[in-house]
Structure 1
Amino acid sequence: MHALKTRVDRALGLFIAAVFAVLVACVVWQVFSRYVLNAPSTVTDELARFLFMWIGLIGAAYTLGQRKHLAIDVLLQMAGPQKARWLALLVTLLVGVFSAVVLIYGGAMLMQKTLATGQLSPALRLPMGYVYGAIPLAGAMMVLYCLEFAAGLVSGRIHPIDTEAEPAAGGPLT
């Protein structure tokens, strides 16, 4: 499972970097065409919005996988090692269930209904269902990461409190 996570990490990292590069190019062209050419590009405006949505959702999954997401771990720090492990497992399972139900199931239903209606984006004429495909894809990646973390917590390979974090400006981690 860990080897799969490593491959997914690399693929998502490359995908996010590529999407970000295209997003920056779209925004730069949009600014240039609007203020220099006095003819704003509707295509790059719409494409930038869609890419921003994809990078936000896929980036959230990637961040979860790297364990760099925002977390309030005061309860984990107050609990003993065994309770912290169970609490971290509970939180991981809740995130996994949310990802499965809301993102995968709900996102797939949204995608399916939008494709069935044949809704197209105004400028690019893309089927909007494909644009919404980022939702179930991000959910699937989050569930994969949650399964890997849960297995790591149960086996003891992953510790509930990330001890590799940078120390705060005030001093070492305690």
Structure 2
Amino acid sequence: MHALKARVDYALGLFIAAVFAVLVACVVWQVVSRYILGAPSTLTDETARFLFMWIGLIGAAYTLGQRKHLAIDVLMQMSSPKVARMLALLVTALIAAFAAIVMVKGGLALVQKTLASGQVTPSLRLPMGYVYAAVPLSGGMMLLYCAEFAAGLISGRYAPVEDLEAEAITGTDQGQG
């Protein structure tokens, strides 16, 4: 499972970098076309909005996989290692439940409903279901990361709470297998 996570991390990193580059190009062209040429481009405006949605959702999954999401872990830090591990597993299960029910199940229903309705984007004329596909895709990746993290917590490969002071001193992630 750890090897799969490494491949997914690499692919997502490349995808996010590519989408970000295209997003920046769209925004720069939008500024140039609006303020220098005097004729704003509707295609790049819409493209930038949709790419921003994709990068936000896929980036959230990637950030979860890197264990870099904002977390309030005061309770875990005050607990014994065994209780902290159980709390980390509970939080991981709650994240997985949200990803499965809201993002994957609900996102797939949204994509199917939108594709069936024939709704398209105003300028690009793309099916809106393709734009919304970022939701279940991101949820599926979050589920993969949750499964990998839970397995790492159970096996002891991951610590429930990372040692931020040691990480700052050594410049590495403690507890990351």
Q: TM-score, normalised by structure 2?
A: 0.93
Equivalent position amino acid for 1:92 in 2: T
Give 5+ residue unaligned stretches, structure 2: 170-177
Equivalent position amino acid for 1:56 in 2: G
- Return the offset for 1:162: 1.2
Name the residue aligned to 1:172.
none
4+ aligned runs moved over 4 Å, structure 1: 164-168
Name the residue aligned to 1:145.
145
Q: Distance in 2 between matches of 1:46 and 1:23?
A: 11
Equivalent position amino acid for 1:118 in 2: G
- Return the offset for 1:70: 0.3
Which has the larger displacement, 112-121 or 157-166? Answer: 157-166
Identity percentage of aligned residues: 73
SS at match of 1:129: helix
Name the residue aligned to 2:57.
57
Name the residue aligned to 2:33.
33
Q: Distance in 2 between matches of 1:10 and 1:39?
A: 39
Kindly report the root-mean-square deviation, in angstroms, between the aligned alpha carbons of the 2 structures: 1.1
Quick check: 1:118 aligned with 2:118?
yes
SS at match of 1:63: helix
Name the residue aligned to 2:22.
22
Name the residue aligned to 1:43.
43
Name the residue aligned to 1:77.
77
Q: Distance in 1 between matches of 2:164 and 2:11?
A: 24
Q: Distance in 1 between matches of 2:11 and 2:22?
A: 17
Name the residue aligned to 2:172.
none
- Return the offset for 1:167: 4.2
- Return the offset for 1:164: 5.2
Give 5+ residue unaligned stretches, structure 1: 169-174
Q: TM-score, normalised by structure 1?
A: 0.95
Q: Distance in 1 between matches of 2:2 and 2:34?
A: 47
Q: Distance in 2 between matches of 1:162 and 1:21?
A: 32
